[in-house]
Amino acid sequence: MGTFGAARSLAPGNAVIAHDNLQATASSATVLLNPLTYSGSAAHVVLFHPGVTNYIIRARGIFTSRTTDPFVCVYRLYYRDGNVTPVGPGDTSVAADGTILHIREYAQDGTSTFFLPCTFAAVEGDSTYKYSPYALNSISGIGSDSAGTVQGFRFWKRNNEFGIIVLTSTAGNVAGSSDTLEAQVIAV
């Protein structure tokens, strides 16, 4: 049985935080292979409203200096046929008994980790947070800047998964009086 922060629902046009602390110690290799054994409160199961067809994952943070950006693993969650207890909003336990299947997302280069730099300030009229670069390479589905350099903005098409989990594979390092570094999921 995995223990997570309270599960969060994501409706079309809205955003939720999938991981509260991307600067904490990274998840162990064992947990990254079987994410449903996670034990903590920083990662949250993000539950998709049936109307969500696409989603974005990006970093969001408050800090005055940044030494290292995080790498994350993303897992799509599916219910197995049969008697499954569904995960609901606010739930903190997730069965790790095979009734819920997870599929780790892979990049085009075959790696299973995604780089989430958090560099841009004052986007969307928000002067509090810094975010991942906000451009989309429509060919690869991976974020890129105007020069085509791959950046930390990730865009996925939903494939009937009921939700996702985002875990830290390499922790970020930020500093400041109220430093935070999170993974945000936006339904688009």
pLDDT, one tens digit per residue, over 30-41 is: 999 999 999 999
pTM of the model: 0.87
Q: What is the pLDDT of residue 113?
A: 84
Q: Is the C-alpha dihedral spanning 138, 141, 145, 150 positive or negative? A: negative
Distance CA 3, CA 184 (A): 20
Q: What is the pLDDT of residue 140?
A: 39
Q: What is the pLDDT of residue 132?
A: 77
Gap between the terminal Cα atoms of the chain: 31
CA dihedral 4, 26, 47, 110 (to 10 degrees): -150
Distance CA 118, CA 131 (A): 5
Q: How far is CA 11 from CA 8, 49, 87, 109, in A?
A: 10, 5, 16, 31
Distance CA 119, CA 133 (A): 7
List the chain pLDDT tens, one digit each, 188 residues: 899 999 999 999 999 999 999 998 899 999 999 999 999 999 999 999 999 999 988 888 888 888 888 989 999 999 997 778 899 999 999 998 889 999 998 877 777 888 887 876 655 556 778 887 754 333 334 444 444 444 555 678 899 999 999 999 999 998 887 889 999 999 98
- Specify the length of the chain in residues: 188
pLDDT, one tens digit per residue, over 123-162 is: 555 677 888 775 433 333 444 444 444 455 567 889 999 9
Closest to 45 (Cα-Cα) out of 13, 11, 83, 90: 90
Domain coverage including residue 27: 2-187
Q: Do 83 and 100 meet the contact criterion of CB atoms below 8 Å apart?
A: no
Domain count, the chain: 1
Q: What is the pLDDT of residue 119?
A: 75
Closest to 14 (Cα-Cα) out of 62, 64, 48: 48
Spell out the residues 6+ positions from residue 173 whose beta carbon is closer than 8 angstroms to its own.
Answer: 23, 66, 67, 68
At CA 159, angle to CA 108 and CA 14, rounded to 5? 100
Query: Tell me, what amino acid is at 148?
Result: G
